[in-house]
Chain A
């Protein structure tokens, strides 16, 4: 459905030769990693890593380079703990359904899985996953001084918590930012937009379809993780509140203004085809030089900087979300986190926690990011400390002007826990809203009619 990065392959400086090795790399690296791995950084933790030695757990992840890197160094985990980890790769469109089926039937197939943060409400309401606070505070399972849980980016920890209880530990995440063509902006004397109105005028100024350059594009295709990934930011920036007097409200003046802004922008300054585009299509079009700007996940920077495909390397720059009429900038708090399946026997739960702790630890995050031996590095590490690490920052600056600053400032100032309505009914609400947004975009319904209809459909969903 939403935010996978299957093509986060090559990194700017790695070059073609390095990317040619991608196919071979995992096997080679896995062996090398198992032999040479220095486990002392892990062993400094004051816990018994071997306490559930001999267990086998299955972990569902999506096919994406940030998980591939983790799989590549997983033999180190086996050596450290004696736990066998079997990884199963499931495309993002299916991983939610598969894990929901596993959880609801209590088969316990997946000890943990890469979870959509919007699903924790549903999981928690059904008690399908374990509250994790007791694991974090259990001294025999977690060395707090070593794990430094508070170092994990706060917005993502909040996104993975319901009513103050932690249900998942973030592994990799992203924020949405403006990506723009610095050369085109400079040629017209434009600056990256500071508010939504300027974003519209910038896009209009650069929109020259006859030269095959369009002003901008936002996700247009319907889906809880597609158009309903971008729209909530606009809705919140226009001052929208998902809950008015405890009642979920998706229509009203703020919503209408937000959706009208989106529809008008897409009609006036985006290619017609963008109505069916998801982020990979947007990033591809941008890397071919046909878009002057877009707002999407910061991790799409790796696509627009792919030396094999991109024609705009060196011309890309970044900025935070433009401010809305409410004065707010609202970015995504998306992350892939790991929960613990409540249907597991006690010992497996412990083994799963050890895996989660290992994967989310600063050491593993570094080993799968800037210290990873392969050509693909991660741009969504979960640790504030790594985002301040000069080695990592240097690597990330290769993506273009202002990349690290825009990402960090967004992470620190623009995240909003109420970005999307976090309720167990989210799958239904997300889909209903996605359909409404698309109806308005395609002209099947007016903005107001589409939102009012969505409201009518959402209300019975919320009635117990």
Chain B
């Protein structure tokens, strides 16, 4: 192919510009269908959501419906349950992401040194990830955590801890949903970190060994800095998912007992679809959106900061 215009040649100014313009047009026409579909399926509903959040829309009291501007947000800021569900969301996200990355990294380091059976280990480890969160929730709720009858409770009784009401006690329920999410998604962190570990250059480690760096020093000074981009990426992806988690908590505790595991997402769902206050529910969803954007913005800034 002869395409001198693509490079910054001096003799090809005009031709280059025409070609570049044509290319742009072609690219745009290729992009258009996907772009329009995206607009229709994501941007429009999002705008509609924001629009709805400025209305009072209460299926139980249709006569009171109407435009109320920012009133929903004023109520929201004074709503204790909004703040407590936001706090639950943050605790849930913070602890699950930390656990996933720590455990995933530990597993990856361990498996890296496995001489045999690495493939099998990876295959088995990936299984929880491919399960539907709703199914995972049902399994844990009925099979693992049921007091007197569940596997976890059986182990707890045999370990001398006694039978515990895993999903009926506020603190234990919170721990349970965190463990479930971590159990399901640690393999994801593990796989990503294992792949980056495998691609680290061996010669640096050799040089370090010659300099008599201890294993801990090698980990601190070489492995961690080199893995940093991968770790930050995992943290960002997992944070966004954890902030908007729904299915597993919904099936395991439905936010209970009381409101002990009610994350913001679940509260918005309840307001909209159980209590039928569509306007206020939309405002909650928008608040969740803002929180997610702010947190991911911070994380992306962190990623660039290096």
Q: Name A residues whose Cβ lies closer than 8 Å to a Cβ of B.
A: 97, 100, 104, 122, 125-126, 220-224, 271-273, 275-276, 423-428, 431-432, 435-436, 438-445, 450, 457, 460-461, 464
Contacts and interface: CB of A to CB of B under 8 A. Distances in A.
B23 interface: no
B276 A273 contact: no
B5 interface: no
Contacts of A220: 168
A464 B59 CA distance: 12
Given A428-B276, A431-B270, A442-B168, A125 B61 contact: yes
B257 A100 contact: no
Contact of A272 (B63, B75, B168): B168
B260 interface: yes
A122 B60 contact: yes
Contacts of A440: 258
Interface residues on B, range: 20 to 34
Contacts of B275: 427-428, 431-432, 461
30 contacts: A100-B276, A125-B61, A125-B62, A125-B63, A126-B62, A220-B168, A271-B147, A272-B163, A272-B165, A273-B146, A273-B147, A273-B148, A273-B149, A276-B141, A425-B61, A427-B274, A428-B276, A431-B270, A435-B255, A435-B258, A439-B257, A439-B258, A442-B168, A442-B169, A442-B260, A444-B258, A444-B259, A444-B260, A461-B60, A464-B64
A345 B167 CA distance: 49
A460 B58 CA distance: 12
Contacts, number: 98
B60 A276 contact: no
A428 B278 CA distance: 12
A457 B259 CA distance: 13
A128 to B, nearest CB: 9
Nearest to B147: A273
Contacts of A432: 275
Contacts of B255: 435
A273 B165 contact: yes
B170 A443 contact: yes
B48 interface: no
A251 to B, nearest CB: 16
Interface in B229-266: 254-260
Residue from A220, A221, A445 whose CB has the most chain B CB atoms within 10 Å: A221
B277 interface: yes
Given A443-B170, A461-B275, A122 B165 contact: no
Nearest to A434: B256
Nearest to A441: B257
Interface in B202-242: none
Nearest to A101: B273
